[in-house]
Structure 1
Amino acid sequence: MASLSPAAAAALARLRAYHPPATQWYKLPLVRRAAVLILLFADKKGELRVVLTIRSAGLKNYAGQAALPGGKADTLSETPWTTARREAFEEIGLSMTNEDLPSGYVVEHLTELPSNLAMTELGVRPCVGYLKAPAPRSPLLATGDADRAPDVARDLLPKLDAKEVAAVFTSPFHNFLRSEDEDVRDREGERKVPGQWYNGSWHSWHESPWRMHQFYVPVKPSTVFRAKTIAAGDAAKEDDPRPSKPKHQPKADKATPSSQNVHSSSSSLQPPLPSSTYQVSGNVLDQRRYRVFGMTARILVDCARVAYGEEPDFEHNSHFGDEDMIGKLMKAGRLGPERKHREVLTRDVMVRAAKLS
C-alpha cells in the first residue's frame, strides 16, 4: 500500500478533529436506536475508499440494495460505535477488536456524525472508522508475507465472512462530492464503464425539500467480493422479523423503505416516488455499476463534506443529520418504545412537530 496522499491524510485529520453536536440518540428508546459503519481505507495510490455491501437477494427486506454495514442496537448500554462494529462483524465478518484482525491491521474510531431519521422512525448514527494496514515489510506481517505490500482489498476483504450480504464492494470516497467519475478511465476510453456516476432529484421529507442522491459505483474484480451462496431458508432466518430476534429487524441504514410502507396518501413523502425506485431488477451482482442511494448516499455525502472540507458540485441539503427533527418528534409523542404496525410519519405529524421549539 502506498503512503497516504496529502488529500487523504488531511481528510483523516479533519475527521479526527470533528466534534458532532449533542445527539438525541441516547434519549431514544432501544427499539429506535441504530448505527452504521463508514469504514475507510487507503488504496494502492494512497487515496481513501469506503466499504459497502449488497444485501442478499434471499432476504425479506431491501434485497439486492447497497448499504453501509449496520443495524439496530441490542442493549441500552451499547454505544453507536459498539453497535456499528457488532453489526459489521455479523454482516461482513470484520472483527470487533483490533487483536482479532489480521496481523498489523487496526481499526481507528475517527468520529461520529449527527443522527439521521429513517422513514421507519429510527435514529441512525453514522460512525466513521479508518482501517489502517501495516507498513510494507512490517514485522507484524505474517511469515512469508513480508515481501508483499499490504493491500486491504486483497488481504482482508476477501476473507470477510458475509452472512447477511451477497457481496462486499468498495468505492472511491472523494467521488461522493462529484457528479462524474473522477477516474477518467471509468468514463472514457476502452476501460469506460457504461452508465453515469450520479443522478439526483428533490422530494419532500420533513415537510421540506430533501435531496435524493443516487450514485452508480463502477465495480471490477479487484473492488467487489462475493459471499458464499446462502440457502434460501438460511437467508430468511438471518432476516427474521419476529420480536424474538430483534437484531434481525430490517436494517436501519436503508433510507428508502418499500413503497407499500410509506407511499400512502398521508405520507410525508410528496410527491410519491415510483416503486421502481426501490426495486432491483435482474441480478445486481452482474451489473457493471452498483447503485447507492437514499439515506446511505446522503450519509456518504455528508461524511465526505466533513472529511475534505468542501461542498459537492451537485445540489444537496446543507444541514447534517436530523437531530433537531428527532428531538421535536419525541416532544410530539413519536419515536416511543412501542412500534405500531404500518406506522408512518404523516404530514400532520410532521407539521405539528415542526412547530415545537
Structure 2
Amino acid sequence: MAALSPASKRAIANLRAFKAQPTNYYKCPLKRRAAVLILLYADRGGDLRVVLTIRSAGLKNYAGQAALPGGKADTLQETPFQTARREAFEEIGLPLSDQKLPTGYEIEHLTELPANLAMTELGVRPCVAYLKTPPPSPLNQSPNAARDLLPTLDAKEVAAVFTAPFFNFLREQDLDAEQRQTVSGQWYKGSWHSWHESAWRMHQFSVPVTPTTVFLAKPEVARSSEEQSPAPAAQQTPKPTLPQSPAAGKPRQATIQPPLPRSFYTIAGDALQQPRYRVFGMTARIMVDCARVAYGEEPEFEHNSHFGDEDMIERLIKIGRLTPVKREGEMLTRDVMIKAANAKI
C-alpha cells in the first residue's frame, strides 16, 4: 500500500486539527441521538477513499439507499464516536478495538463534525476516522484495507459495502478519466429544492463500482465482489476554519424546484446491480462538508453555505420538538419548521 500522497497528508492534518462549534447533540434525548462513521483510508496511490454501505432492502427506513455506517445511541453515556464504532462493528464487522484489527492496522479518531438533522427528527453526529494501513510484511505483502477489513457484513442491515474517492466529493465529474468514458451515468447532479420553506441543495453522486471497491453481503457469509461483480445496467497547519463561501463563487440559481417526490428516495430495480451506486441527501451533504474541511476548498457545484444543522436542532428543542418519546412515523412538517425558524434562541 502506497504512503499517503501530499494532498492526503494535508487532508488528514486538517481534519485532525478541526474543532467544531459547540454541539447541541448532547441536548437531544437518547432516542434522538445518532452518529455515523466517516472512515477514510489510503488506496494504492496514496489517495483517500471513504467507506459507504447500501442498506438492506428489508429495513423500515431508507431501504436500498447508500449510507455511512451508523445508527442510534444505546445510552446517554455513549459518545458519538463510540456509537459510530459500535454501529460499524454491527453493520460491517469493523472491530471495536485496534487490538482486534488485522496486524498493523490502526484507527485514529480525527474529529467530529457539526450535528445534522435527519427528516425523522434525529440529531446525527458525523465522526471522522482514519484507518492506518501497515507496511508490507512477510505475512501480508500487499496490505489492502478494503480487502482485509470490509467483507464481514450483517445482511439484515447491510446489503453491500463500497468505497468512493473522498476528494471527488468536491468535483462535478469523475476524477478518473477512464471511468468518465467507460462507466454509464455521470458523477454529479444537483438542484435547489424547497425543504419546508428553506432552500436546500440536493446533491446526488453516482459512485462507479468495480470488483475491488464493492463487497456484497450473503445471508450467512459475506462475499467479495471479486466473486460476483455488479451487472452492467443503468442507474446519488493552522487550525482550519470552515469555508464560508455561499456557493463556491457561483450565483445561486434563481429557480428553486418543488419538494422532491417520495419516489425520488426509492431505487428503480436492484440497487446492487448498477454500475454506479447513488449517494444523495444527508449522506451526500455530510461527505461534501467533510471534504470541504479536509481539503480546505469549496466544491465546484453550488451548495448550502451553512455547516450542519446545529441552529435548527436548538430551535426545534426550544419549541418542544425532539422529545424523549419518538412516535412512529414522526416527520418534520412545514408548520413545524416555520415555527422553529421563528423561535428565539
TM-score category (smaller protein): 0.7 to 0.9
Letter in 1 for 2:42: A
In the superposition, the TM-score normalised over structure 1's length comes to: 0.83
Alignment match, 2:84: 84
Is 2:53 the partner of 1:62? no
Give the aligned partner of residue 198 of structure 1.
Answer: 188
* 1:256-271 map, 5 Å: 271=258
Q: What percent identity do the matched residue pairs reach?
A: 70
CA 1:119–1:5: 2 relative to 1, 3 Å: same
State the AA in 2 paired with 1:345. L
Classify 1:12/1:154 alpha carbon distance in 2 versus 1 (closer, same or farther; 3 Å). Answer: same
Assess if the C-alpha contact under 8 Å between 2:114 and 2:310 holds in 1: yes
Match of 2:201 among 193, 211, 218: 211
2: distance between equivalents of 1:316 and 1:2?
A: 33
> Is 2:120 the counterpart of 1:152?
no
Equivalent of 1:345 in 326, 332, 343:
332
Q: CA deviation at 1:226?
A: 0.7
Q: Would the aligned equivalents of 1:116 and 1:322 in 2 still touch at CA under 8 Å? A: yes
Tell me the equivalent position of 2:170.
Answer: 177
For residues 4 and 351 of structure 1, the distance between their equivalents in structure 2, rounded to whole angstroms, comes to: 46
Kept after mapping to 1: 8 A contact 2:195/2:259 = no
1:204-263 Cα deviation digits (max 9, x unpaired): 2253211011000000000001111369xxxxxxxxxxxxxxxxxxxxxxxxxxxxxxxx
Q: Secondary structure at the match of 1:22?
A: coil
1:351 & 1:62 partners in 2: Cα distance?
25
2-structure distance, mates of 1:83, 1:110 = 15
Cα offset, 1:165, TM superposition: 0.6
Where does residue 278 of structure 1 map in the other structure?
265
Aligned amino acid, residue 11 of structure 2? A
Structure 1 residue 67: Cα displacement: 0.6
Partner of 1:74: 74
Match of 1:229 in 2: 219
Report deviation, 1:346.
2.5
Asked whether the 8 Å contact 2:200–2:304 carries over to 1, the reply is yes
C-alpha contact 1:175 1:182 (8 A) present in aligned 2: yes
Distance 1:330 1:110, change over 3 A: same
**Are the aligned partners of 2:39 and 2:51 in contact in 1 as well (CA < 8 Å)?**
yes
Matching residue of 1:5: 5
Aligned to 2:303: 316
Q: State the SS of the aligned residue for 1:2.
A: coil
| Matches of 1:176 and 1:93, distance apart in 2 | 25
Q: Secondary structure at the match of 1:158?
A: coil
Does the 8 A contact of 1:98 with 1:107 survive in 2? Answer: yes
Is 1:305 aligned to residue 298 of structure 2?
no
State yes or no: 1:166 paired with 2:153: no
Using the alignment, how far apart are the partners of 1:116 and 1:60 within structure 2?
A: 21
CA distance in 2, matches of 1:162, 1:14: 35
Q: Name the CA distance, whole Å, in 2 between partners of 1:208 and 1:317.
A: 10
**Equivalent pair of 2:155/2:219 in contact (CA under 8 Å):** no
Q: Is the Cα contact below 8 Å between 1:92 and 1:163 reproduced in 2?
A: no
- 1:105 corresponds in structure 2 to 105
Residue 179 of structure 2 is aligned to residue 186 of structure 1 = yes
Q: Secondary structure at the match of 2:312?
A: helix
Separation of aligned partners in 1, 2:313 and 2:261: 27
Counterpart code for 1:8: S
Determine the C-alpha separation between the residues in 2 that align with 1:163 and 1:11: 34
Q: Does 1:294 align with 2:275?
A: no
Q: Which amino acid aligns with 2:313?
A: I
Choose from 316, 320, 343 the match for 1:333.
Answer: 320
Q: Is the 8 A contact 1:93 1:162 kept in 2?
A: no
Superposition TM-score, scaled by structure 2 size: 0.86
Q: CA RMSD in A?
A: 1.7
2:243 match: none
**CA separation in 2, counterparts of 1:90 and 1:230?**
14
What stretches of structure 2 of length at least 5 have no aligned partner? 222-255
* SS of residue matched to 1:186: helix
- Pair 1:58–1:3, CA change in 2 (3 A): same
Contact 1:163 1:227 in 2 (8 A): no
Cα separation, partners in 2 of 1:285 and 1:4, compared to 1, 3 Å: same
Distance 1:215 1:309 in 2: 20
Unmatched tracts of structure 1, length 5 or more: 138-143, 232-268
Number of residues of Structure 1 aligned to a counterpart in Structure 2: 310
- Opposite residue 200 of structure 2, the aligned amino acid is W
